Chain A
């Protein structure tokens, strides 16, 4: 056991200092797609995207729905003047519209539920998270699990995974919701104590992802009210951490944007 302790001490501190310090960006990492020019696009541009994330309005304005984007790069390859990859990780948003870039956000939607920061305030510094897989491809689970490794060490922020939804403040859902998982997901949400928040982790959880018609109900918000959307296929651990901090009211979206 002593040998393990020595082994553990041998390495310098690797833990990220996010959110107190920005996390260094990995060069070349596909964190998100940015629309650098959203004016006067031809309607055919929609066809470039295999998941239907790109919309061209009748006036030629382009919008990109990150909740459908799988970061495949088809648009970047087809029109590098208009689209480019960025290594950013602060991609989560508290409204479905907030992860659609290129269109004005409808802030009135916010008022429908009690503002999340307010609900989460009593929970700050000790939030318990229950993860539920509703039909992911398995990559999201790796990234969620990575939050506990020494690089991200989410416990330092007072975030913990819990084994039972009955002890959870946040439900972290990965994957489009398959028919078999619809009921278990609903039941997990129902037994959670108030106040509670739901995070859709990943593009599949935001919009349903690749699936045959009828097998998947769609994104998590078809079944439960979602508080934070974290796009990405899969979202990186640091993007998930950003989403968790948003849900906890520790970070505000306005400060991040």
Chain B
């Protein structure tokens, strides 16, 4: 029996012991516990003490208007659901027990007008007041640099407000709030086939992960399964996306270390992956490949062609990887930079390679394998050191595992007779979670449907989760480490601020 299933049974026993009577039947086997609003924070603290990781807090409209707090708990998504009465304007803040909920609660307040009582920082998150931090009068020994939103280089808009005495980073505040496009509201009223186009454009570098998480949420809500072949091709698309993202991080780190040939080599490898993806589905980002119910079109490359490409790609990659890790002028800049400890990451509910680099073996593909992942084998790569180097090592290890996963999926595809790639969706109502392990970390969609159209979507994005960790990782680091640390996190502002 897979460990995921065993822990799910433990979870069920624990929940039945502690929350008897509160458990509602939930779609996809993920428990939802119904509680009064006043008890939400204590229940959240109890779950967290048992090792549950906070995912998000948001307002759901199905089955009734409620405040939902979602957790990753022993192979399930466990949600606490508190019905909201008409006049409800506040609730006890979860952040007091779960520091990782701070940003989600600030967003919730901006969006829904629900005030988390006792929250330590209630400044607006979606439309920030541009004053504030810069105006703070320092003691004459230090000064404050507002770095961004237009920064030096080809970067997405974000602002880092750095307090420094000249070299040391004394304090840092990050504001990923310049790109708010209101995308979650944009889903409402669209058919699932159209809404997935919006999902693909929430965070462009994680297009496939967003498309899969959204599609699987729709499929769970409507109780449809994607055909086996479509599930396997989804793995191929998702893992190619991960490889491209991790190569991008390696390339940017080489650039920070002024390793010109390294930048060129990893730039070539990344470009090769993007071109392969264009040949596979017409888009360098995997757009238009995945649709709720399965795939949009038959992939343009046969498994054998992909196998040959992989063999050549890996030969080049292995050489560049070996050389990169042997270049002391490069590794010296990463070792010890942006160090995080395990406690901090657990406290702030970190996800993805950032969490795996402090030894936390968390990966949605393993904890709650969805689609074809349940039938494929791979290793969750972790490291212990918690610094920028450890994060790079995790990524390089994950590229290896991704190629392994793609090969397994291709082998299975080769043995399958061609079938249809998509199942029809009924025009029914329903609500469910869907998830994917994006290159940045666990991505969760809550999706509600009514009459064949999407009525509500909430996205829990890995970039938003991990941004507080980026801030927490500056302990004794200097300004020249800044770009190394930032790139080692590999986050995307578009994912954080939808």
Contacts and interface: CB of A to CB of B under 8 A. Distances in A.
Contacts of A134: 157
Contacts of A215: 180-182
A50 to B, nearest CB: 5
B157 A28 contact: no
Interface string B242-254: 0000001000000
A67 interface: no
B181 A8 contact: no
A137 B327 contact: no
Interface stretch (A54-62, A90-98, A112-120, A173-181): A173-181
Interface stretch (A138-146, A223-231, A248-256): A138-146
B287 A175 contact: no
Specify which of A8, A139, A212 lies most central, judged by the most chain B CB atoms within 10 Å of its CB: A139
A105 B393 CA distance: 54
A234 B274 CA distance: 12
B204 A50 contact: no
Contacts, number: 182
A4 B288 contact: no
Given A4-B261, A8-B265, A138 B492 contact: yes
Contacts of B285: 139, 234
Interface size range on A against B: 35 or more
A180 B279 contact: no
Interface stretch (A34-42, A70-78, A192-200): A70-78
A71 B157 contact: no
A27 B487 CA distance: 33
A184 B175 CA distance: 15
B323 interface: yes
B181 A210 contact: yes
Interface in B141-183: 149-150, 152-157, 177-183
A108 to B, nearest CB: 34
Contacts of B320: 7
B275 interface: yes
Given A7-B320, A71-B283, A163-B152, A26 B205 contact: no
Interface in B259-286: 259, 261-262, 264-265, 267-268, 270-271, 274-275, 278-279, 281-285
A138 B288 contact: no
Contacts of B177: 180
B338 interface: no
Contacts of A137: 201-204, 494
B423 to A, nearest CB: 17
A179 B185 contact: no
A238 B137 CA distance: 48
B197 interface: yes
A26 B279 contact: yes
A144 B279 CA distance: 20
Nearest to B198: A210
B407 interface: no
Nearest to A216: B181
Contact of B150 (A7, A132, A216, A234): A132
A29 B248 CA distance: 22
B127 interface: yes
A133 B157 contact: yes
A138 B282 contact: no
B49 interface: no
B229 interface: no
Interface residue SS majority, chain A: loop
B153 A151 contact: no
Contacts of A14: 268
B194 A50 contact: yes
Contacts of A26: 275, 278-279
A141 B282 contact: no
Contact of B183 (A71, A212, A214, A233): A212
Contacts of B288: 30, 71-73
Contacts of A161: 153-154
Given A178-B178, A209-B201, A212-B181, A146 B271 contact: yes
A201 to B, nearest CB: 11
A145 B154 contact: yes
A3 interface: yes
Contact of B157 (A164, A181, A210): A181
Contact of A211 (B183, B190, B194, B261): B183
A210 B183 contact: yes
A204 B186 CA distance: 15
B302 interface: no
Interface string B196-213: 011001111101000000
A63 interface: no
Nearest to A146: B271
A30 B369 CA distance: 32
B300 interface: yes
A136 interface: yes
Contacts of A210: 181, 183, 186, 197-198, 201
B319 interface: yes
A200 to B, nearest CB: 16
A53 interface: no
A129 to B, nearest CB: 10
Contacts of A234: 204, 284-285
A212 B127 CA distance: 14
B150 A165 contact: yes
A51 B59 CA distance: 28
Interface of A: 3-5, 7-8, 11, 14, 26-30, 50, 70-73, 85, 131-146, 148-151, 161, 163-165, 175-176, 178-181, 184, 188, 204, 209-216, 233-234, 236
Query: What are the nearest 7 A-B pairs in CB distance?
Result: A139-B204, A212-B182, A149-B267, A137-B204, A215-B182, A163-B152, A30-B282
12 contacts: A29-B279, A29-B284, A71-B283, A135-B178, A138-B156, A146-B267, A151-B267, A204-B201, A209-B201, A212-B182, A215-B181, A216-B182
Interface of B: 127-128, 149-150, 152-157, 177-183, 185-186, 190, 194, 197-198, 201-205, 207, 248, 259, 261-262, 264-265, 267-268, 270-271, 274-275, 278-279, 281-285, 287-288, 296-297, 300, 319-320, 323, 326-327, 492-495
Given A175-B179, A181-B157, A210-B197, 14 more contacts: A3-B323, A8-B265, A14-B268, A28-B282, A28-B300, A71-B282, A133-B149, A137-B203, A138-B156, A138-B205, A146-B267, A149-B267, A151-B268, A180-B128
